Amino acid sequence: MKKLILFLTILSVLWAAPALAQNGTGGNIFVNKQPGSKIFAYNDFTECTNVWYVDSTLSSAADNTGRGQSPNRALATLDYAIGRTTANNGDCIYLRPGHVETIPGGTLIDVDVEGITIIAQGEGDDRATFTYSHANSSIDIGADNVTLVGLRLNPSITDTLIAIDVESGVTNVTLDGIEFTQGDAAADEFVVAVDLKSGNDDTVIKNCNFKTKIASAGSTTGIILTAASADVRILNNTAYGNYSTAFIDDGAAVTGIIIQGNSMKVKDGEPCIEMTATTTGLLIDNQCESTGATADNTIVAADMSWFNNTAVVTDGAAAGLIGTDPDVTATTSTITTAITATNTVIGTDFCIGPYTIDGATITSVFKNVTQASSGTLLITDVIVQVGDTAMTGAASVLEIQTDNALGGIGPFYGATEAALIAEQVYSQNECVVAGADCGLPVLESGKIIQVGASNANFTSTGNAYIYVCFKRLTAGATALIAADL
């Protein structure tokens, strides 16, 4: 009686399978009898129209027709399975847990059927692993709407050139959960993990893990957009390696790219993301470690919009926000850290300093605070911090001016400002005269900022420290602090 019930149950499942498939929710129904167990039936990946299985652990696995559509009659290689699929039919290839393949020299796996999905089953290092045994070994994607999920890619020689190569003009590729391993030997690594050649619009690279040997020097880039593409998404990936150019890089302007939620460790002093100046898109919630770099140099992307990206540039330190406004760091008696330019395009801000002065050397003959500017700069702030001893001069006021040829000579820091020195740190932006902002001039190209006494010489040995902040009005404009008095 029990056997009859079980037999009728299996028949009902098999009878229902075609109907499920016709409704677009069905897949492959398999009946299996494991040694020493009962007969059971199961449904595999119902989103696929046809499912093909690849399993090198199966002793009977072979590449021939009539095989591949059940786990017990699996194919031996991925490349053969790709050839069995139908374009734009919703076909899937399952790489069974433990499956391994080697890609030797002079060959590649060519994913050249449009609209297929390739899935590595299992967890961790049980997922299908492809070992690259030659510098030119690769997985090439040559068809649109291809999805790869969960593969493990392992370089077994020094400097394998490209792990996944997306051919020119191929669009809507998705790489999801791919693991790029660091290889076994010290120098086994991918020079480039993913190469988008050109016109690879709407590519999505997400949830992938990239790793290289930290001591190795061969890896240059995790993801490179070699030429122009549009609407690429690089989301929620992790990278820990010795990438010597950047983890994400481009070779030409990319439009509408979104780079979000990526955590990256690169070679010390190098940027995590380095995009062409005219690349557009969004940078959101990315984290970068690059020991010895400046925080604002860990991402280089002049025309992209930035949202809450952070960096660690000192071992053991907490992350700081990338792209913050120029600021000044103070100790008890002086401001010790100057903020310098990290970007030279029009409209960018930077500060220079400190320029140290003391009352014994401030006279009515003005001294240079800056060297001659290269380009035109808007002076956005002048900050004066008093030292341990205040400067004094019976009938004198500290003045700061320019040697402009056309106007705005000054002094723009005079009696009103000097009266506020008691605040210890005085910013010109605090200045108010008759209810209006004091205003600051433009520093003309080739001109300097000067400091001196209004009339009589100062007589004390007191000191002060001067910082000046600018906004670029011409590309590449900058100014350097002059030697201290």
For the segment 388-407, what is each residue's pLDDT rounded down to a tens digit? 666 655 455 677 788 888 76
Lowest mean pLDDT among 11-20, 142-151, 180-189: 11-20
Residues 268 and 408 in one domain: no
Using 50, 70 and 90 to split pLDDT, how confident is the model at 424?
A: very low
Q: Is residue 455 one of the residues assigned to a domain?
A: yes
Residues 273 and 390 in one domain: no
What does the pLDDT look like over 211-231, one tens digit per residue?
987 766 778 999 999 999 999
Residue 170 phi, psi (nearest 5): -80, 130
Determine the Cα–Cα distance for residues 336 and 305; give it in Å rounded to an integer. 31
Residues 217 and 352 in one domain: no
Q: Is residue 479 one of the residues assigned to a domain?
A: no
In the prediction, which pLDDT does 33 show? 39
Averaged pLDDT, 324-333: 37
Residues 307 and 168 in one domain: yes
Count of other CB atoms within 10 angstroms of residue 470: 28
What does the pLDDT look like over 25-74, one tens digit per residue?
334 554 443 343 333 333 454 479 999 999 999 999 999 998 999 999 99
Give the CA diameter of the chain: 117
Residues 315 and 349 in one domain: no
Averaged pLDDT, 405-424: 53
Residues 216 and 347 in one domain: no
- Domain end residue (candidates: 296, 321, 346): 321
* Burial grade of 11 (CB within 10 A; 0-12, 13-18, 19 or more): exposed
Residues 245 and 373 in one domain: no
Instruction: Say if residue 130's pLDDT is above 90.
Output: yes
Residues 190 and 290 in one domain: yes
- Domain end residue (candidates: 286, 304, 321): 321
In the prediction, which pLDDT does 1 show? 54
In the prediction, which pLDDT does 105 show? 79
Determine the Cα–Cα distance for residues 120 and 122; give it in Å rounded to an integer. 7
What does the pLDDT look like over 10-24, one tens digit per residue?
455 444 444 333 333
Using 50, 70 and 90 to split pLDDT, how confident is the model at 327?
A: very low
Lowest mean pLDDT among 127-136, 185-194, 457-466: 457-466
As a whole-number percent, the residues of the chain with pLDDT over 70 amount to: 73
Instruction: Say if residue 285's pLDDT is above 80.
Output: yes
Q: Is residue 305 one of the residues assigned to a domain?
A: yes
In the prediction, which pLDDT does 407 show? 63
Instruction: Say if residue 142's pLDDT is above 80.
Output: yes
Residues 61 and 188 in one domain: yes
Instruction: Say if residue 265's pLDDT is above 80.
Output: yes
Q: Is residue 478 one of the residues assigned to a domain?
A: no
- Domain end residue (candidates: 268, 294, 321): 321
For 397, the enclosing helix (H) or strand (E) is none
- Residue 273 contacts residue 301 (beta carbons within 8 Å): yes
Q: Is the peptide bond before 411 cis (omega within 30 degrees of 0)?
A: yes
Full residue range of the structural domain in which residue 451 is found: 329-472
Residues 178 and 158 in one domain: yes
| H-helix segments, 174-290 | none
Cα dihedral 9, 10, 14, 19 in deg (nearest 10): 20
Q: Is residue 477 one of the residues assigned to a domain?
A: no
In the prediction, which pLDDT does 429 show? 47
DSSP β-ladder status, 263-265 and 287-289: parallel
For 78, the enclosing helix (H) or strand (E) is helix 78-84
Per the model's pLDDT, the better-predicted residue between 420 and 402 turns out to be 402
Q: Is residue 146 one of the residues assigned to a domain?
A: yes
Using 50, 70 and 90 to split pLDDT, how confident is the model at 258?
A: very high
Lowest mean pLDDT among 232-236, 362-366, 386-390, 468-472: 386-390
* CATH classification of the domain holding 461: 2.60.120
In the prediction, which pLDDT does 365 show? 75
Residues 77 and 49 in one domain: yes
Instruction: Say if residue 476's pLDDT is above 50.
Output: yes
Instruction: Say if residue 160's pLDDT is above 50.
Output: yes
The chain-wide mean pLDDT, for the chain, equals 80
Using 50, 70 and 90 to split pLDDT, how confident is the model at 183?
A: confident
In the prediction, which pLDDT does 423 show? 39
In the prediction, which pLDDT does 115 show? 97
As a whole-number percent, the residues of the chain with pLDDT over 90 amount to: 46
Instruction: Say if residue 344's pLDDT is above 90.
Output: no
Residues 177 and 298 in one domain: yes
Q: Is residue 80 one of the residues assigned to a domain?
A: yes
Query: Left if phi > 0, otherwise alpha if psi is -120 to 50, otherwise beta: which for 361?
Result: alpha
Averaged pLDDT, 165-183: 95
* CATH classification of the domain holding 85: 2.160.20
Q: Is residue 9 one of the residues assigned to a domain?
A: no
Structural domain count, the chain: 2
In the prediction, which pLDDT does 184 show? 78
